């Protein structure tokens, strides 16, 4: 579980829900940076709404 704060509203989201529902364009390796930063997988400092391409292992 982790907490995600958007517009001063904190939401608790399970990791399975994150993987299933929060990622956008997972097949192409593109995800929402805000969600990536929320679960600590984004090493880049982009504004919410920006997207980056990542190499997904496995």
Within a domain: 28 = yes
Query: How many domains in the chain?
Result: 1
What are 2-36's pLDDT values in tens digits? 555 555 555 554 455 555 455 544 544 455 555 55
Q: 6: domain range?
A: 2-47
Within a domain: 34 = yes
Residue 45 has pLDDT above 60, yes or no: no
CA angle 30/13/26 to nearest 5° reads 15
Within a domain: 22 = yes
Note whether 25 and 31 are within 8 A (CB): yes
Within a domain: 55 = no
Within a domain: 40 = yes
**What is the per-residue pLDDT for 20?**
47
Within a domain: 26 = yes
Within a domain: 35 = yes
């Amino acid at each position: 579980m982790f907490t995600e704060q958007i517009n001063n509203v904190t939401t608790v989201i399970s990791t399975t829900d994150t993987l299933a529902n929060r990622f956008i364009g997972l097949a192409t390796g593109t995800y929402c940076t805000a969600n990536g930063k929320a679960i600590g997988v984004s090493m880049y400092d982009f504004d919410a709404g920006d997207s980056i391409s990542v190499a997904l292992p496995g």
